[in-house]
Amino acid sequence: MRLSIDVMLDYWIENAADVLLLVEAAAMPDQRLERQDMRVYSNDPLRAVAGEEGIGQRTWARGEGNLRVEYQAEVTISRATIDLAALPATPARMLPAETIAYLLPSRYCESDKFEGFVEQQFAGLEGGVLAAAMSSWVRENLTYASGTSSGVTTALMTFADRRGVCRDYAHLLVSLARAGGIPARCVSAYAPGVDPPDFHAVAELWLAGAWHLVDATGMASCGDLARVAVGRDATDIAFMTVFGRATMNDQRVSVRRIDD
């Protein structure tokens, strides 16, 4: 499966500020960058640094006045569809070092508060069966609705409000998984079929020795997703973090399937 990605960001930055961009698709074994072109219209040089967990890259830019970013890429995704429910459980004490931070609660994923619900709703399940049940539960019990949540919405709020956007679905699934002993992280990604077209956020669950992409919104299948970045929650994977103030003029994200 091959994706064509086209992104344009146009912001106004009154006072000069450093800007951290997280918009480039990551080069990984299951997603090959066929070509990409990143342009930031700025007088200052760009600087690229590795993303969290060494996945993808962050680009530091300097913005003053108008900041315009254009990114085009083609990515070939070769990722087998996994039967999540068939994956065995790993006891917490057998987890590798790099997964442990993803077992712990974070700002938007208060997993320590969900232990009671997980015990009640998913009693007796573990491993992939548990992960699949949690993903189904989130998809069936949330309604996709923009305008009901915001950048301060946490998984606890989404759990009660039963509404949200991709970020909220990911936060809730990640929180449930962690509460159930499954390491889980948030992933920003490009995917066709996201409506309205935008940056997408999904979960990645660690089972049977590997990370597995899960889109609880059901908008994207695992074979459609081009990862940009991973992290504990939305804090880590924001497509743009401005160390100062910026206002949006315009922004567009387009992701299309193209013939290989």
- Select from 26, 39, 24 the least CA-distant residue to 70: 39
Is 52 near a second copy (CB under 8 A)? yes
Is 216 near a second copy (CB under 8 A)? no
Among 65, 88, 96, 209, interactor with a second copy by CB under 8 A: 96
Is 105 near a second copy (CB under 8 A)? yes
Among 39, 78, 100, 248, interactor with a second copy by CB under 8 A: 100
Measured CA to CA in angstroms, residue 173 lies from 65, 92, 122, 137 at distances of 39, 18, 13, 9
Residue 82 has which token pair?
């996994």
Is 119 near a second copy (CB under 8 A)? yes
Q: From the CA atom positions of the chain, what is the Rg in Å? A: 18
- Please, which residue, 162 or 256, has the CB nearer to a second copy? 162
Q: Which stretch binds a second copy (CB under 8 A): 7-15, 74-82, 202-210, 234-242?
A: 234-242
CB of residue 118 to a second copy, shortest distance in Å: 9
Is 159 near a second copy (CB under 8 A)? yes
Alpha carbon 250 to chain centroid, angstroms = 22
Burial of 16 (0-12, 13-18, 19+ CB in 10 A): exposed
Where do we find the tokens 């997980």?
118
- Please, which residue, 106 or 217, has the CB nearer to a second copy? 106
Contacts of 128 (CB under 8 A, 6+ apart): 83, 84, 85, 86, 87, 88, 89, 207, 208
Q: Residues binding a second copy: what is the number (CB under 8 A)?
A: 53
Among 160, 250, 259, 260, interactor with a second copy by CB under 8 A: 160
Separation between Cα atoms, residue 149 and residue 132, nearest integer Å:
25
Q: Which residues of the chain form contacts with a second copy (CB under 8 A)?
A: 18-20, 44, 47, 49-52, 58, 60-62, 91-97, 100-101, 103-107, 110, 113-117, 119-120, 141, 143, 148, 150, 152, 156-157, 159-163, 181, 231, 235-236, 241, 243
